[in-house]
Amino acid sequence: MTKDDGNNQDSLKPNEILIAEFEYSSNVTLQSNEEFSRVTNLYLVALGSVVVGILGLNTDNFNIDYLNRGLSLIAGFFSLFSLLIIAQLARVRFTWFDSIEAMKKIKEYYLEEHPELNQAFHWNDLPKKSRLGNSSSLWAIFISIIGSVTAMFSVFFASISDENREFLPGIIAGVIFLIVQIIVYIIGLRDKKSTVENSR
């Protein structure tokens, strides 16, 4: 072995690399959750402010047709916004799961080298990525319901008139948009690697 080979082996320290990888995976998880919290809070605050503003609006000073169109556009905007939130929530969940999967592999490596460490770990199995009871899925359901309600009002205000005040088109639109959001969330949770392998 040459002197350079010895120096290269000394510079490549597996423990330091694994520790850095573990810390990186942990930081990615935290950053994803923080990013989602900021966007979700912005969505809820903006939606709440608009609702309060609409409830306090003096409709006597506005043309009713223009007012309905404006309300329809606002509701439609928040429906699309909720769809983006759902897509991001799925991405956050996927990133979180990918990070803990990487951490689990590092833990398994150390358990092979030091089996006595097994009693120091609380969990050994990964949670299900699409489990309904996790906080990510509950948030997805909550945002989806809000998005479907705003979609319903968007269609209702767009079609309302003196002769037509039916809620059925809006209800149908709300149900369809709810299904679309759920599909977007489920697709976002799919493992890209598994999808590529299954398509071969």
* pLDDT (0 to 100) of residue 145: 93
Q: Which of 57-61, 137-141, 152-156, 176-180 has the lowest mean pLDDT?
A: 57-61
| Sign of the alpha-carbon dihedral angle for 31, 37, 43, 46 | negative
Interatomic CA distance for residues 166 and 168, integer angstroms: 6
Tokens of 101: 């999967």
| pTM (predicted TM-score) | 0.70
Residue 149 or residue 57, greater confidence = 149
